[in-house]
Amino acid sequence: MKWETIETEENYNKAVIRAIEIFHAEPNTPEDDELGILCLLIKDYEDRHYLILELDVLENIKNGLEEMKQSKKGNLKTTPAKDFLNEL
């Protein structure tokens, strides 16, 4: 199948389904070539339409520990974790 730049959600879904179908294609086959092209097109579409935040796990842990220290010192009345739990 001939693939072009993915511009719609419908074509994106078709591309993802096709990529899943041929995911285990043998190397150096037309399906393997198609999979490579689909992966590039899918990534391009996702980069343009979906915001994916990069998480720095260590930085988040450091911030959480700092908030706990401030909370224990009485400098914070609440923490994001407590706010979240209170919303539940």
Q: Of the ranges 18-27, 30-39, 76-85, which one carries the lowest mean pLDDT score? A: 76-85
With contact defined as beta carbons under 8 Å apart, do 8 and 41 qualify?
A: no
Q: Is the dihedral of CA 32, 37, 40, 42 positive or negative?
A: negative
Q: Is the pTM of this model over 0.75?
A: no
Tokens of 39: 């992966």
Structure tokens that stand for 79 in this block: 């923490």
What per-residue confidence (pLDDT) applies to 67?
78
Q: Which pLDDT band holds residue 6 (cuts at 50, 70, 90)?
A: very high
pLDDT tops 90 at residue 17: yes
At residue 82, the pLDDT reads: 60
CB 18 within 8 A of CB 1: yes
Mean pLDDT lowest among 17-21, 32-36, 82-86: 82-86
